[in-house]
Amino acid sequence: MVPISYYLILSAVLFTIGVIGVLVRRNAIIIFMCIELMLNAVNLSFVAISKHLDSLDGQIFVIFVMTVAAAEVAVGLAIIINLFRNKETINIDEVNIMKW
Amino acid sequence: MDLAIPSIDIASLGPELILSIAAILVLMVSVFLPKERKDPACYLSLLGILFALASSVTLWGKPKYAFNNMIYVDNFGLFFNMVVLITAGIAILMSINYLKEEGMSHGEFFALILFATVGMMFMAIGSNLITIFLGLETMSISIYVLAGFLRERDRSNESALKYLLLGAFSSAFLLYGIAFIYGATGTTDLKGISVFLSEATYLNDPMLLAGTGLLLVGFGFKIAAVPFHMWTPDVYEGAPTSVTAFMSVGVKAAAFAAFVRVFSYSLWNLQPDWVLLMWILAVLTMTLGNIAAIAQTNIKRMLAYSSIAHAGYIMVGMVASSELGISSILFYMLAYAFMNLGAFGVIIVFERKGEKNLDIEDYSGMGFKYPALALLMSIFLFSLAGIPPTAGFVGKFYIFGAAVKEGYIWLAIIGVMNSLVSVYYYLRVTVVMYMNEPVKEFTGITWSPSMVIALIIAVIGTLLIGILPSPYLDLAKQSILLMM
Amino acid sequence: MPIDYIPILAFLIFALMFAVGTIAMSSIVGTKKTTPEKMMPYECGVDPIGSARRRFPVKFFIIAVLFIIFDIEAVFLYPWAVIFKDLKVFGFIEMGIFILILFVGLIYAWKKGALEWE
C-alpha cells in the first residue's frame, strides 16, 4: 500500500514541472501542454485524497476537470491556429504588439 | 442498492436555466437564419436577459439550498446575478452597432455573452467549490473566445491568446488550492468547510494554509489584483471594446462574489491568516493601478489600469469583512457596473473601425463638437474618480467607512490618497475634451438607438445611485442578511 | 504564525528541487552521441522523404477539435451507464437532456459546414 503522501508529492512535482514549463517555454502549444500537465497533476491529488478520505467528491471533481480541460483545449487550439494564420508564428515572444 | 434521487428544484435555478435556453436558441437562430438577418439573435438574447432578471426578482428573499447543496440561492447571490445580468444586457446593447461596423455581426457573439453570464451567475450562487469552479470555467472559456472575436485583427488575437494562457494558468492554481482544501477538510462544500473549521482545534494544518494561499492566487488573477494583474492591460486593450466593457465589470463582479463567499464565509476561521495578505494586496493593487494609469496614452489601457485600482478598493471592503464591509462591496459593484460600462460605451461611440480614436489625444475638442457625448463621458469619469454627487463617491465612502469602523484606518487613508491620485488621470480626459483644440476632424459619429438606450441606462444608474443612495444601500444590506 | 508555514516552504522547496533536478540531471548526466541513424524517426525501414513537420490542412484540425468535444461526453455517460438501473427514469431523462444539448452543438457544427470534407 503506497501512502498518500507519495501521491501528493508526485502531484506537487508534476505541478511544478508544469509551472516551470509555462514560465520557461516560448512555444504557445508547449505552454498549453504544460498547463494541461498542471491540471492533471491536480487530478492526481484529487483522486489520491478521494481514496484516502473514502469520499467520492474528489472523483466527481476529476470528471468535471477533465471536461473543462477538453473544452479549454478546443478553444485554446482554435485561438492558437487563428493566431498562426494571422502571424505565421506561435512563438509568444513575437506576439507583442501591446506593451506597457 | 437504492439510490436516493436528489430533489430537483428547477425553480431555484430559474434565471440560469432561462438564460441557458436563450443562449442555445440564439445559437440555433443565428445558424438557421440567412446571413444578412442577425437582428433576431440579439433581440432574443435581450429577451432572455429580461426574463432571467424577472426570475431573479421572484426568488428574492427566500434563501434555500438546492440540488444537494450545490447551489444556495440567497439574496447575496441574486444581487450579483442581477448585477451581471444588467451588465450583460448593457454590453449587448452596446455591441449591436459596434459589431455591425466591424463587419463581424454574428449571432454567436450574443450566445457567448449569455453563456459567460450563466457561468458568472453560477459563481455567484454556487455553494460548493465544484459549482464555483465550473461557473468560473464556463465564464472564462466563453470570454477567451469573445476576446478574440475580431479574428482578422492581430490585437484581438493577441489579447485572446494572453487571456487564454494566463487564465488557464491561474485556474490551475485555483484548482490546486481547491484540492488542498478538500484534502485538509474532507469536503468541497462551503458550509461543510466552514463547519469543519469552526470545530477544528488545530487550524495551522499546512495543507489548509497552502490551499488558502493558492485560492487567493487563483481569485487574484480573475479580479486582476496586483501582482497577478499583468494580463489586464493587454487583454483589455486588444479585446473588442464591448467585450472589454463586459469583462471589466462582469468577470470582476462574479469573481468577487465567489471570492467573498469562499473567504469571508467558508474560510472565516482562517481570517487572522489571510487578512494581512489581503491588506497588502489591496494596497498594492490600488497604488500600482492608479500610478500606472497616469502614464497611459491609450484610453482603453488607462481604463484597464483604473479597473485594477477599483479591484483594490473593493478588496478594502474584503479586508473589513464586517456586515457593513460586505454590503459596501455589493453596493460598489453595482455603482461600478454602471459607471464603467458607461465610460466604455462612450469609447465605443467614438471609436472608428480599425481601432482609431482610442488615444486620449483624439478626444481633444470633443466638448465643443459633441457636447452630449463629452458630458456623458465626464459624468462617468467623475463617478470613477469618486466625485460627488455620483455613484462612485457613495461607493467609496461606504467602503472606506467600513474599513475605518473595523479599525483599518491606515488602509482607509491609503485608499483615499489613491482616489486623489486617480482624480488626476480621470480629469485629464475631461480637460483634453474641453480645453484642447481639436487635433483632427471628427467624422460620422452615429447614434444607434440601442447605444443610446445603453448610455441612458448607465447614466441614470450612475446619477441615481449617487444622489439617492439609501434604497440601494438597503438593498445591499438586505442581500447579506440571510447569507448562509 | 510564520513558523507554521515552514512545512509548506519545505514542501515547495522539495517539489521545486525535484522538478528542476530531474530536468537538469537528464541534460547533465545523459550522454549525447548523435549519429544520423539515431536522429531518424525509424531505425529500420524506408528512409523518410522530406520533413515530417509539414503543414496539414486545417480540416484535420477541425475534426480533431470536434472529436475532443464529443469524445469527452463519454466521461459522463460511463458512470451513468454503470448505475443505469438504479437511476431509473430520472437518470434517463437527465441524460436525455444532456445528449440533447450536445446534439444542438452537433447541429451547429453541421450547419456551419465543419463536417464537410471537401
- pLDDT 10s digits, B122-149: 999 999 999 999 999 999 999 999 999 9
Q: Which member of B3, B31, B209 has the closest CB to residue C87?
A: B3
Q: What are the beta bridge partners of residue B72? A: B65
Q: Which domain holds residue A83?
A: 4-88
The C-alpha of A12 sits at a distance from chain B's nearest C-alpha, in angstroms, of 9
* pLDDT score at B283: 92
Tell me what pLDDT residue C42 has.
Answer: 65
Q: With CB atoms and an 8 Å threshold, state whether A12 touches C15.
A: yes
Are C68 and A63 in contact (CB < 8 Å)?
A: no
pLDDT band, very low/low/confident/very high, at A99 (cuts 50, 70, 90) = low
Contact status, residue B440 vs residue B352, Cβ threshold 8 Å = no
What is the value of ipTM here, to two decimals?
A: 0.95
Task: Count the domains in chain A.
Answer: 1
Task: Report pLDDT digits (tens) over B79-119.
Answer: 999 999 999 999 999 988 888 888 877 888 999 999 999 99
Average pLDDT of the residues in B398-427: 90
Contact between B415 and B399 under an 8 Å Cβ cutoff? The reply is: yes
Rounded to 5 degrees, what angle do the CA atoms B16, B17, B20 make?
Answer: 85
pLDDT, one tens digit per residue, over B261-281 is 999 888 888 888 888 889 999
Predicted pLDDT at B257: 92
Contact check, Cβ <8 Å, C15/A15? yes
| Cβ–Cβ below 8 Å for B238 and A98 | yes
Three-class secondary structure of residue C116 per DSSP: coil
In-domain check, residue A93: no
Identify the weakest region by mean pLDDT among B44-58, B91-105, C34-48: C34-48
Look at residue A100 and tell me if it is in a domain.
Answer: no
B168: chain A residues, CB-CB within 8 Å: 32, 35, 72, 76
> A100 pLDDT exceeds 60?
no
**Mean pLDDT of all residues in C26-42:** 75
Chain B residues within 8 A of A53 when measuring between CB atoms: 183, 186
Cell, residue B478 = 438586505
Residue A28 lies in a domain: yes
Count structural domains, chain C.
Answer: 1
The reply to whether A50 falls in a domain is yes
> pTM of this prediction?
0.90
Count interface pairs A-B at CB distance under 8 A.
Answer: 119
Indicate the domain borders of chain B: 12-481
- Copy the grid coordinates of residue B324: 457593513
pLDDT of residue B64: 85
In-domain check, residue A99: no
Please give the average per-residue pLDDT across B454-475, as a whole number: 90
Does residue C118 lie in a domain region? Answer: no
A48 confidence band (pLDDT: 50, 70, 90): very high
Asked whether residue C29 carries a pLDDT value surpassing 90, the answer given is: no
Does residue C104 fall inside a structural domain?
yes
CA angle at residue B316 from B311 to B321, to 5 degrees? Answer: 120
Distance CA C63, CA A75 (A): 13
CB atoms within 10 A of CB C116: 9
| CATH number of domain containing A35 | 1.10.287.3510
pLDDT grade for B369, boundaries at 50, 70 and 90: confident
Range of B67-71, B320-324, B369-373, C101-105 with top mean pLDDT: C101-105
Residues in A closer than 8 angstroms to B159, CB to CB, are 98
At C43, the pLDDT band (50, 70, 90 cuts) reads low
Residue A62 lies in a domain: yes
Tell me the sheet residues that pair with B189: B128
Task: Report yes or no on A95 lying in a domain.
Answer: no
The confidence score (pLDDT) of residue B370 equals 83
Range of the domain at C92: 2-112
**Which residues does A40 contact at the CB level (< 8 Å), separation at least 6?**
A14, A69
Task: Using CB atoms, pick whichever of A45, A61, A72 lies closest to residue B168.
Answer: A72
Q: Which of the residue ranges A21-25, B162-166, C52-56 would you say has the lowest mean pLDDT?
A: C52-56
Quick check: is C27 in a domain? yes
pLDDT at B2 (0 to 100):
58
Give the closest-approach CA distance of C21 to chain B in angstroms. 22
The pLDDT value recorded for residue B273 is 83
Which of the four pLDDT bands, split at 50, 70 and 90, describes residue B444?
low
Tell me if B226 sits within 8 A of B284, measured CB to CB.
yes
CATH number of the CATH domain containing C79: 1.20.58
- Which residues of chain C are at the B interface, by a Cβ-Cβ cutoff of 8 Å? 1, 4-5, 7-8, 11, 83, 86-88, 90, 101, 104, 107-108, 111-112
Cis omega before residue B389 (within 30°)? Answer: yes
Question: How many Cβ atoms sit within 10 Å of the Cβ of residue B200?
Answer: 14
